[in-house]
Amino acid sequence: MGARLEVSAVLLDTFGRRAVDLRVSLTDRCNLRCTYCMPEQGLSWLAKPTLLTDEEIVRLVRIAVTRLGVREVRFTGGEPLLRPGLVGIVGACAALDPRPELSLTTNGIGLARTASALREAGLDRINVSLDTLDPETFQQLSRRNRHHEVLAGLDAARTTGLAPIKVNTVLMRGINDHEAPELLAWCLDRGYEQRFIEQMPLDPQHGWDRATMVTAQEILDRLRTRFTLTPEPAERRGSAPAERWLVDGGPARVGVIASVTRPFCRACDRTRLTADGQVRTCLFATEETDLRAALREGDDETTDARIAELWRTAMWGKKAGGGIGDPTFRQPDRPMSAIGG
């Protein structure tokens, strides 16, 4: 009986994977327009009444943590720092029992102002996206002149003592790919752990091209022109999407997320929630499960149990992989910024 209860209290799929890592998108809006993520004119944003309120987000996180065995929650977007209630959401999630690990993925704009409030509210870790050290290349990649704000945000995160600080970088051929070794040196100097992410086909303008994307192998080759990289033992990777290498013997490390050329779907432990309350089993899922409608039917034990059941059923149907390599691969309708990267 005990064992049966335990199985029904977690998010399992038919491939035996268990989701313990929840990605919550807090908004689909953004103050940058990274070329690999959004078109210049932006997107048609989700309508306000469809967005979950701060209380609704915390309620869903509570259901995930107390009824479904979720242990880690990462807030993302769009740009999560644009959400006015972010510090309150982090604080309310930090007060949950059991307390989940809390992290944030951000472009860093505005972090200089909020880093210390976020830390005090209970944020454990942060990832800041930085693709270049050159302000002009930043303008070219993000279509905005805000490089200095990202750097100030990173500095503030470090001063506040948030650790580890990870720096996410997408390399684009002919634009910033030559910067890989320089970016890593810059991160090492500051004690940041850098993670290069292969560009994925999740942009609404369908600009992704397998033939021209910068692969993990190329990234490693470029880094090896300046550093000695030693693979970290596979058992230390667990379900982490990044493969990691010790840099010059360690202890500093660099990660590469090879979602396209070396997908890690077999070990995936993620479940995703969009800003409008849809569960997604994968970045590349083409189906979603609506929790918002159920949520708005009532605020009681019975409704929470029903939401947990809907969530479990959704995850049970998770596919084996994202399928980027399949000839029948179809890009999901929702772009990365609206799913939550």
Residue 112, phi then psi, degrees to nearest 5: -55, -35
Please, what is the Cα angle at 275 between 274 and 277, to 5 degrees? Answer: 65
The whole-angstrom separation of Cα 252 and Cα 285 is 34
For the bound state, the minimum distance from the C-beta of residue 141 to ligand SAM, rounded and expressed in Å, comes to 10
For the bound state, the minimum distance from the C-beta of residue 34 to ligand SAM, rounded and expressed in Å, comes to 6
The whole-angstrom separation of Cα 322 and Cα 306 is 28
The item of ligand SF4, ligand SAM, none sharing an interface with residue 202, based on CB under 5 to 8 Å by kind, is ligand SAM
Backbone dihedral region of 167: left (phi > 0), alpha (psi from -120 to 50 degrees) or beta?
beta
Q: Is the dihedral of CA 62, 68, 70, 76 positive or negative?
A: negative
- Strand ranges for 138-181 from DSSP E: 165-170
Residue 35 or 271: which CB sits closer to ligand SF4? 35
For the bound state, the minimum distance from the C-beta of residue 154 to ligand SAM, rounded and expressed in Å, comes to 12
Per-residue binding string, ligand SF4, 90-129, x by CB under 6 A, is: -----------------x---------------------x
CB neighbours of residue 211 within 10 Å: 5
Taking CB under 6 A as the rule, does residue 37 contact ligand SF4? yes
For the bound state, the minimum distance from the C-beta of residue 78 to ligand SF4, rounded and expressed in Å, comes to 5
The item of ligand SAM, ligand SF4, none sharing an interface with residue 160, based on CB under 5 to 8 Å by kind, is none
The item of ligand SF4, ligand SAM, none sharing an interface with residue 194, based on CB under 5 to 8 Å by kind, is none
Question: Is the separation of the CB atoms in 72 and 22 below 8 Å?
Answer: yes
Residue 160 or 176: which CB sits closer to ligand SAM? 176
Residues that bind ligand SF4 (CB under 6 A): 30, 32-34, 37-38, 77-79, 107, 129, 337
